[in-house]
Structure 1
Amino acid sequence: MTLLADTDLDVDAALSFRFAPAVQDRLAAFRGRCTVVRLATLDNEVLGVPRWYTLQEAWAEPGSATAASWSGNPVVAVGPSDDPELVLATGTPVVVVGADNAAARWTRQVVDAVRATCRSVLVVDMGGRPDPSYADIATYGFDRRHGAALLGLLTGR
């Protein structure tokens, strides 16, 4: 993966992002309507809230342009007991969001299944140990700031 920072983003958060080859060229396809597949990884033990709480706060921030363009996207939550061969009835690009995607067999199976059945797929790993095979974008954090920087990247803001 290569390092890329976009000056329109939260520079401190975006500087930690790593991108797989050619991902930058494909980002525009995910800036319109897309389907979000959220891998239901472990809750945040320290805060006692779901791991995605801070990301959801960023993407639902009232009055923000990012929230306005992103919050209308359908979200499919997938957990370890769900069939990895899920069928997405969508012609839109798909963004898969998880944390440490390669760490569990079920998350790898979901990513592989989505990549096999959908035309345009972008896999985001917000965990601390991303594997390049399961991360087109690695954010190295899932706090509100990293979530806002990711949404800025995905919405072009």
Structure 2
Amino acid sequence: MTLVAEPELRSASPVTFGFANGVRDALPRFRGRCTVVRLATLDNDVLGVPRWYTLQDAWAEEGSALASRWAGNPVVQVGPSDDPELVLATATPVVVVGADNAATRWARQVVDAVRATCRSVLVVDMGAHPEPSYADIATFGHDRRHGAALLALLTAS
């Protein structure tokens, strides 16, 4: 699988995402109700907050129709001590969000298990070093701007 970098022009300053082959065509499946699996990878030690703080902040932005629409999706938080085989089984599309997904064995196992048990799976890697086999979309960052651009992409009409 190859990640092709393309700019997302939904914000004042463009954010460049990488897309695996065929992912752009599959995006409409994930724009309705879906289940979000957040991989608890690499907390921000400097700030002392989970890595998802900025993304959570983006999708909880008050007054934003986009954020409130996305916030209505169920979220499953998965960590290294969770059994990857028991993480999830759902008929709704699943968006797996992690950072440097291929870097840890447990994250790879969770992604593999979700892909094996769910029909429609989109894996997002918000880390600096995405591995194409564990990233359908690579954001190359997990700050608020990248989070907002990701939400815009996943909730576009």
SS in 1 for 2:86: coil
The runs of at least 4 consecutive aligned structure 1 residues that moved more than 6 Å come to none
CA spacing shift, 1:2–1:11, aligned 2, 3 Å? farther
Amino acid aligned to 2:11: D
Q: Is the 8 A contact 2:7 2:14 kept in 1?
A: no
What is the deviation of 1:47? 1.2
Once residues 76 and 6 of structure 1 are traced to their aligned partners in structure 2, the CA distance between those partners, rounded to angstroms, is 26
Q: Is the 8 A contact 1:127 1:139 kept in 2?
A: yes
Output the aligned Cα RMSD.
1.3
Q: Could you tell me which residue of structure 2 aligns to residue 154 of structure 1? A: 154
**TM-score (ref. length: structure 1):** 0.94
What is the deviation of 1:66? 1.1
What is the deviation of 1:87? 4.6
SS in 2 for 1:92: coil
Normalized per residue, the structure richer in strand is: 2
Q: Could you tell me which residue of structure 2 aligns to residue 10 of structure 1? A: 11
Q: Is the 8 A contact 2:61 2:67 kept in 1?
A: yes
SS in 2 for 1:47: coil
Once residues 99 and 87 of structure 2 are traced to their aligned partners in structure 1, the CA distance between those partners, rounded to angstroms, is 22
For residues 54-106 of structure 1, the C-alpha deviation after alignment (integer angstroms, 9 at most, x for no partner) is 00000011110111210010000000000011252421100000000000000
**TM-score (ref. length: structure 2):** 0.94
For residues 114-143 of structure 1, the C-alpha deviation after alignment (integer angstroms, 9 at most, x for no partner) is 000000000000000000000000000000
Q: Could you tell me which residue of structure 2 aligns to residue 62 of structure 1? A: 62
Once residues 144 and 79 of structure 1 are traced to their aligned partners in structure 2, the CA distance between those partners, rounded to angstroms, is 22
**Gaps in structure 2 of 5+ consecutive residues:** none
Once residues 43 and 27 of structure 1 are traced to their aligned partners in structure 2, the CA distance between those partners, rounded to angstroms, is 28
Once residues 145 and 108 of structure 2 are traced to their aligned partners in structure 1, the CA distance between those partners, rounded to angstroms, is 26
Moved more, 111-120 or 83-92: 83-92
SS in 2 for 1:19: strand
Once residues 67 and 92 of structure 2 are traced to their aligned partners in structure 1, the CA distance between those partners, rounded to angstroms, is 19
Once residues 14 and 144 of structure 2 are traced to their aligned partners in structure 1, the CA distance between those partners, rounded to angstroms, is 10
Identity percentage over the alignment? 74
Aligned residues: 155
Once residues 19 and 121 of structure 2 are traced to their aligned partners in structure 1, the CA distance between those partners, rounded to angstroms, is 14
Once residues 100 and 19 of structure 1 are traced to their aligned partners in structure 2, the CA distance between those partners, rounded to angstroms, is 15
**Gaps in structure 1 of 5+ consecutive residues:** none
Q: Is the 8 A contact 1:36 1:76 kept in 2?
A: yes
